[in-house]
Structure 1
Amino acid sequence: MQSEMTTLKNGLRIITSSRPQTETVSLGIWVKTGAAYEKQEVNGISHFLEHMAFKGTNKRNALQISEEIEDVGGQSNAYTSREFTAFYCKMLKGDTELAVDVLTDILQNSTFPEDELVKEREVVVQEIKQTIDTPDDIVFDYFQETAFPDQAIGRSILGSKENVRSFTREKLNNYIATNYAAENIIVCAVGNIEHNAFVNMVESRMGGFRSKTNFTPDRQHYEGGFFMESRDIEQVHVALGFKGFRYCSENYYPSILFSTLFGGGMSSRLFQEIREKRGLVYTVYSFTASHTEDGLFGIYAGTGAKDLKNLLPVVVDEIRKVCNDKVTEKELVRAKTQLKASMLMSLESSSATAEVLARQMLIFDRIIPIDEMVERIEKVTLDDIQNTARTIFSSKPTYTLLGAIKDHIEYDDLQKILKC
């Protein structure tokens, strides 16, 4: 993952990783802003802006934006997360400058036509309704909000229907002026690209972009708690969580390895005990969600209403086991191999590599070499895993239930039995 970086006078950072043997280039613009950078009254505006970015600029209408990329066989898309927004393309190598021109145009010159605003508000409202109607999606919004109550990091990425219907051109432009600046933007390209040529393409278009933002995001602080919503559906969706670790924590890699062996695959402890041995679920897994200042460790399961009361004691028993007894060397070796393989396989994709490079620079302010990542994984010991597990499970739990709930363990009782 060799790369080069140039910082423009305004603070914009441009990264390339050359793969001269390929015929394509994956490139994008990553901005360090998202739901965690929104005030409550405009929650959802980062995502709405992502939708509106492709709806027209000073020199291209919505159709022209799509046609210019697709006429040369390219692909374009965008996404919004809690801490990042990205606009990206994959093109044949000869069309790189076209992609740069389109992406920088929509980032700087979107006009947000009123007719498109009206249509897209309702499109996003339908997206919100679809998410609400999808239990194994919305349960994670409830989970995040319960873990981080009354905080931007805990709010939905999509926002509320009321907020979305209130978004105007003025609000979008104000948000861009406040949250989009060169210091928190990375432009990255991976593929058949020459670094200096790419820098020239970007600098000629974004060299004059404003340097700094004047927005300070809310602090992030895990709290935990309980949320339950009854619905007349077949399953109960359970999300059980604890305080995790931020990206820069020394426990970052131990927590990912622990999640892998605890509930990260078919050979994991949770899958084997809860699905294979007891048949209590179809889906069960653990996960980590790191943020800039804090993080989450979570366990998700979908079970029948009659099995809910049996599910939690088994999960708690598995938690106690890892707190009281070290995992085996075999489990740790397998988890390390899985994590390294997953990381290295993903980096075969130019799009995934561009994502990694951009996010690393926005999070760590540097590119982390593959050898260093592998070394940090290899250095994790059995003691590290046990200490990490104990730290995670000693925190106040986040307990979220959604579905046909007939009988469940009360939150206070869960706290008592979870004590390692």
Structure 2
Amino acid sequence: MTFHYTRLANGLEILGESMPQSRSVAVGFFVQTGARNERPEEAGVSHFLEHMVFKGSERRTAWDVNRDFDAIGAHYNACTGEETTLYYAAVLPEYLFAALDILTDILRPSLRPEDFDTEKQVILEEIRMYEDQPAWSAYDEAVALFFGDHPLGHRILGTVESITALTRQQMLDYYRRRYLAGNIVVAVAGRLDWEATAAWLAEHCQHWPAGATPRRVTPVVSRPARKSVHRPQVNQEHMFLLTPAPPVESELRYAAEVLATILGDDTGSRLYWALIDTGRADSADMSYHEYQGAGAFFTYLCCEPADAAANLEITLETFRTAVRQGITEEEIRQAQSKLASRLVRGNERPQGRMRSLGYTWIYQHEYRSVDEELGRLRAVKREHLSQLLEQYNLLEPTIVALGPLAELAGTVFPAS
């Protein structure tokens, strides 16, 4: 595999990785903006705008966009997060330029008033749909409680109130502020002609507005907190525990991935054996979320209300044991094998490799091959896990419980 890079005069960065053995190609436009970059009065605009992009441009209606993607057999979509909005397509190599034509066109959206009004109702229904899902509601409550007034506490979908009040002019202002060429990275991976691809993008994107709007990174100040959300109509109790973790820039992020796998992977982890294998809970997992300048461990439990307090205590005891007794070499090797397998399998496909290229470049500002990532993962030792556990406190989590229990009994903040 060969890595390629070029930067246009307007600041647009273009990455490519040739994968001659592949029989497809994937392209993604990574816009460095998300819920974290929204002002309070425009909450949810990043995700709403993502929808509006597919409503078309001056050249295409929404029907045209769907027809043109379908005509080339594209797998296409978009996703909005706290810090990035990604638009992508995976196609056969002969259709790469057709896919690029669609994507570059719709990324200059017309934002027609009638489309705006129609799609606003779609977004409102989506918000209500997620509000009907207890796990998502608990997640939103936990994020808001953990991050507080920090921009990472913003809800990606916004709220019914913020979306209802949002105007087309506010969206247009946000688009003009955030969708500048210097805020966008294009990543292409698979079977491709790099010179022709770079030349095509240079020709068709050179007139995109230049400039960038760097993100203002402020520290997260989280404090242990506890909240019960009474939902008597819900059958099970849903609990989230959030604790601080390394930011995406930290080399400890690899140790954090290993720790989350050891403690809360969906198979063979400490929480799995303590809560899932024993039949005490339907779900018990831990994941590591990394952001620019911040990070968090998310632990999720779902169980019968009668077991909630005891399961919470088992989870906290699992954390205490990890802190006091450490992690074994065998657990580290097993977690590294799992993560290495997922890394390799995910990057063997052009779409997975495209995502890795783009996100690594945005956050690390460098190219890392699969072998380099594997090397960093396999370099994690017990001392790195010890350093991680010393530096980031697992023992005083922010806890949100949502379900039929009005209050969650039991010891919540054990002494370390």
Shorter-chain TM-score: what band?
over 0.9
1:214 offset after TM fit, Å? 4.1
Of 75-84 and 168-177, more deviation after overlay is shown by 168-177
Look up the SS of the partner of 1:190 in the other structure: strand
- The aligned length equals 414
Distance of 2:272 and 2:184 partners within structure 1: 40
Q: Distance in 1 between matches of 2:101 and 2:77?
A: 15
Aligned amino acid, residue 348 of structure 1: E
Q: What's the C-alpha RMSD, in Å, of the aligned pairs?
A: 1.6
CA-CA distance at 1:364 after TM superposition: 0.7
Q: Classify 1:176/1:271 alpha carbon distance in 2 versus 1 (closer, same or farther; 3 Å).
A: same
SS at match of 1:281: coil
Secondary structure (helix, strand or coil) at the match of 1:15 reads strand
The residue that corresponds to 1:117 in the other structure is 116
Report 1:130-141 matches (<5 A).
130-141=129-140
Q: Is the alpha carbon distance of 1:216 and 1:254 closer, same or farther for their aligned partners in structure 2, counting shifts above 3 Å?
A: closer
Q: Deviations over 1:170-226 (max 9, x none)?
A: 222211111111222111111221111111111111112222134644624141422
Offset at 1:394?
Answer: 5.3
Is 1:191 equivalent to 2:204 in the alignment? no
Is the contact between residue 15 and residue 187 of structure 2 (CA under 8 Å) also seen in structure 1?
A: yes
Find the counterpart in structure 2 of residue 28 from structure 1. 28
Q: CA deviation at 1:408?
A: 1.8
Q: Give the 3-state SS of the residue equivalent to 2:227 in structure 1.
A: strand
Give the residue type in structure 1 aligned to 2:251: E
Alpha-carbon distance in 1 for matches of 2:309, 2:138: 19
In the alignment, which residue of structure 2 is the partner of 1:314?
314
- Number of the residue aligned with 1:79: 79
| Counterpart-to-counterpart distance in 2, 1:255 and 1:394 | 12
| Identical amino acids, percent of aligned pairs | 25
Distance between the aligned counterparts of 2:270 and 2:213, measured in 1? 47
Paired letter, 1:252: R
Counterpart AA for 1:229: V
Partner of 1:414: 412
* Residue 46 (structure 2) pairs with residue 51 (structure 1): no
The SS at the match of 2:114 is helix
**What letter is aligned with 2:104?**
T
The reply to whether residue 242 of structure 1 matches residue 243 of structure 2 is yes
The alignment partner of 1:414 has SS state of coil
> 1:243–1:395: 8 Å Cα contact kept in structure 2?
no
Question: 1:67, CA displacement in angstroms?
Answer: 0.8
CA contact (8 A) 2:24 2:90 kept: yes
- Report deviation, 1:384: 1.9
Structure 1 partner of 2:254 = 253
Task: Name the aligned partner's letter for residue 13 of structure 1.
Answer: E
Which residue is 2:323 aligned to? 323
TM-score computed with the length of structure 1 as normaliser:
0.95
Deviations 1:335-374 (A, max 9, x none): 1111111101100111111011011111111112222222
SS of the equivalent of 2:30 reads strand
Task: Kindly state the Cα deviation for residue 389 of structure 1 after the two structures are TM-superposed.
Answer: 2.5
* Partner of residue 99, structure 2: 99
Asked if structure 2 preserves the Cα contact closer than 8 Å seen for 1:319 and 1:393, the reply is no
Is the contact between residue 326 and residue 386 of structure 2 (CA under 8 Å) also seen in structure 1?
yes
The whole-number CA distance in structure 2 between the counterparts of 1:170 and 1:183 is 23
* 1:319 positional shift: 1.2
Q: Which runs of 5+ in 1 are unaligned?
A: none
Match of 2:281 in 1: 281
One-letter amino acid matched to 1:414:
V
Q: CA deviation at 1:395?
A: 6.7
For 1:266 and 1:310, how far apart are their aligned partners in 2? 21
AA matched with 1:97: F
